[in-house]
Amino acid sequence: MVTTLQQQRWTYVAGIVGTAIAYAAFAFIGFTLAHTVKQVTAVWAPAGIALAVILLGGYRLWPGVWLGAFIANVTNHVSPLTAAGIAVGNTLGPLLGAFLLRSAGFDKRLQRLRDVFLFVVLGAIAAMTVTATNGVLNLGLAHVIAWHSFAPTWTLWWGGDAMGTLIVTPFILTWATRTRDPSDGKALELLLLFLVTLLVAWLAFSTASSAIPAIFHHQSFIYPVVMWSAIRFRQRETTSVITLFTIISVFAIAHQSTPGNLDQRLANTMTFLAILALTGMVISALTTERRKARRRLNVTLRKTTRIAQTLQEAMLPKRLPYHHRMQFDALYATAEHDALVGGDWYDAFVLPDGSVIVSVGDVSGHGIEAAVTAERMRQALFAAAVDTDDPALILTKADRALQLQSNTIATAIVAVIDPRANQMRYASAGHPPPVVATPSSPPQLLQTGGLPLGIAREFHSGVQEPKTHYVTLDPQALVIFYTDGLIEFSRDAQAIEQRLLDCAARLVFDHTARPAQVLHDEIMGKASPRDDTVLLTVRLLPEA
């Protein structure tokens, strides 16, 4: 326990000493850039250092700020009393800024737009009025400046503190706090960003490169670099780019022989860079919020997809029926990426007379509601088939049930296959046409039509109820049913239909393959479908 307390004390002392050294060191650099009044400069990084230290280490580090400010001022041609008074304001300003930011729920990572605006308004603009007002009052009382120059001196002091805070504090905070937010850019791109930053800064602020056309010396070229950093990377990289621009620009201006007031030139440049820093931080915060929203959406999407997929798979038939004259194969392919699980279904069951009823359909929409509606439709079709084996009448009854229970629209096809008569009766409600392939004739798309289920037919005059079609089947025919996810995953639907027919022509002779799986692999391959897909195949077998 004693050792721990001693370590804490030494850590606290080290924090105060380190703060004082950092404050004083950067203060000396700032004073070398002062022109009109030796105690006031347009470049004042210590203000940003002090605010960052207090936000990170707590209010207890204030003695380090005061000590650093006192040392810097007492060695800069002011009395110890005046230096102590100025140090009080230089300490109270960051303390006030940290208090206001913490009270407002400020996040030091600056990843939210509200945190950026809180930092600008409370940490830079409001808090630094304390340092400027106190400092200029002390200079006036010590007769370092005349009272008639109070306003311009105050403006220069406040501007130096505020701009230094806007540039330095975010740089320290973003590198001192951990973040799990990944950037969109890569390591090679980051290196390229760093090199481009150096080049653009040299062109924008250096006058030594007279051989290069003057247009490339314009500071507006800095904006694309900052936007690049803000959009592709995080606040860390963006604040680093701004800090690098600031260092190069201050160094270049300080060593220029351009006539005029150095304070004014530095103030103009720092104002430009501060506005640029604000713009970059805002864009970076918006980009980070967008990334987080996208990740939250993806997580929600995956959860919803898993739930809907589990529900859908639970509602689909556990196994296809056994029939000595038929072989069944089915496949349900889930949509990937941005799409949710849809409301596709398939079903097949044997009637007492040996015929088989097959139903395939697709409910509009995605997610859990679509999956539940699909199960209702499957059950409604099954219930209707108990009373009749007419496909058109089965669809009509299911249509009425759907309109009573939901306002959803669905496409469906119902087929009754009689292997004894080698005949199939079917009716469609806006569903893609099935394919029939035989060993003796080319595959063909059967005739379909009708409105989807769920549409109030009284509002569509002249539209007939579903119609039952009849087709004679070869004893070794292969019938393929599917949903529109199979043909609409590509923009060229005609090419997909032709590929479907070609694959069916081969499968009718291959009795060893799983037709549904082969169709899926050859038509869709490894492509990510935008919609769910159902494939159901029925192969007739000759009489043994």
pLDDT-based confidence at 216, cuts 50/70/90? very low
Instruction: Tell me the per-residue pLDDT of 221-260, one tens digit each, with 9 for 90 and over.
Output: 888 999 999 999 989 999 999 999 999 888 888 877 666 6
Instruction: Tell me the per-residue pLDDT of 357-369, one tens digit each, with 9 for 90 and over.
Output: 999 999 887 777 7
| Residue 530: strand, helix, or coil | coil
- Name which of 144, 142, 229, 230 is nearest 194 in CA terms: 229
Asked if residue 44 lies in contact with residue 161, where contact means CB atoms within 8 angstroms, the answer is: yes
| Residue 490 to residue 485: CA distance in whole angstroms | 9
Asked if residue 253 lies in contact with residue 266, where contact means CB atoms within 8 angstroms, the answer is: yes
Instruction: Tell me the per-residue pLDDT of 1-17, one tens digit each, with 9 for 90 and over.
Output: 556 788 888 889 999 99
Q: Which conformational region is residue 58 in: left (phi greater than 0), alpha (psi within -120 to 50 degrees), or beta?
A: left
Q: Which conformational region is residue 143 in: left (phi greater than 0), alpha (psi within -120 to 50 degrees), or beta?
A: left
List the 326-333 sheet strands across, edge first: 326-333, 533-540, 478-482, 435-438, 441-445
Mean pLDDT computed over 144-171 = 94
Instruction: Tell me the per-residue pLDDT of 36-57, one tens digit each, with 9 for 90 and over.
Output: 888 899 999 999 999 999 999 9
Tell me the C-alpha to C-alpha distance, in Å, between residue 528 and each of 219, 337, 371, 413, 535. 46, 7, 20, 25, 16
Q: Which conformational region is residue 240 in: left (phi greater than 0), alpha (psi within -120 to 50 degrees), or beta?
A: alpha
Which residues, at least 6 apart from 204, have a Cβ–Cβ distance to it below 8 Å?
A: 217, 218, 219, 221, 222, 245, 249
Q: What is the pLDDT of residue 338?
A: 44
| 3-class DSSP string for 396-431 | HHHHHHHHHHCCCCEEEEEEEEECCCCEEEEEEECC
**Does 436 or 299 have the greater pLDDT score?**
436
Task: Please give the share of the chain, as a percent, with pLDDT higher than 90.
Answer: 52
Q: What is the pLDDT of residue 460?
A: 47
Instruction: Tell me the per-residue pLDDT of 439-488, one tens digit each, with 9 for 90 and over.
Output: 989 999 998 888 888 876 544 445 567 899 999 999 999 999 999 888 87
Amino acid symbol at 38: K
Tell me the C-alpha to C-alpha distance, in Å, between residue 21 and each of 13, 469, 502. 12, 92, 80
Q: What is the pLDDT of residue 207?
A: 55
pLDDT-based confidence at 35, cuts 50/70/90? confident
Instruction: Tell me the per-residue pLDDT of 250-283, one tens digit each, with 9 for 90 and over.
Output: 888 887 766 667 888 888 888 888 888 999 999 9
List the 423-429 sheet strands across, edge first: 342-350, 356-366, 410-418, 423-429, 469-472
Question: Where are the domain boundaries for CATH 3.60.40.10 in the chain?
Answer: 316-540
Q: Which of 158-167, 323-332, 434-443, 486-495 has the lowest mean pLDDT?
A: 486-495
pLDDT greater than 60 at residue 209 = no
Mean pLDDT computed over 422-438 = 93
| Residue 77: strand, helix, or coil | coil
Asked if residue 496 lies in contact with residue 486, where contact means CB atoms within 8 angstroms, the answer is: yes
Q: Which conformational region is residue 384 in: left (phi greater than 0), alpha (psi within -120 to 50 degrees), or beta?
A: alpha
Q: What is the pLDDT of residue 218?
A: 61
| Residue 379 to residue 402: CA distance in whole angstroms | 11
- For the entire predicted model, the pTM comes to 0.65
Segment holding 122, helix H or strand E: none
Helix axes 45-57, 62-74, angle to 10 degrees: 160
pLDDT greater than 80 at residue 300 = no
- The architecture of the domain spanning 316-540 is 4-Layer Sandwich (3.60)
Q: What is the pLDDT of residue 434?
A: 95
pLDDT greater than 80 at residue 491 = no
pLDDT greater than 60 at residue 532 = yes
pLDDT greater than 50 at residue 215 = no
Joined tokens for residue 287: 């980009």
Q: Which of 46-60, 188-202, 311-325 has the highest mean pLDDT?
A: 46-60
Question: Tokens 């110890």 appear where?
Answer: 80
| Residue 345 to residue 330: CA distance in whole angstroms | 10
For residue 353, the 8-state DSSP code is: T
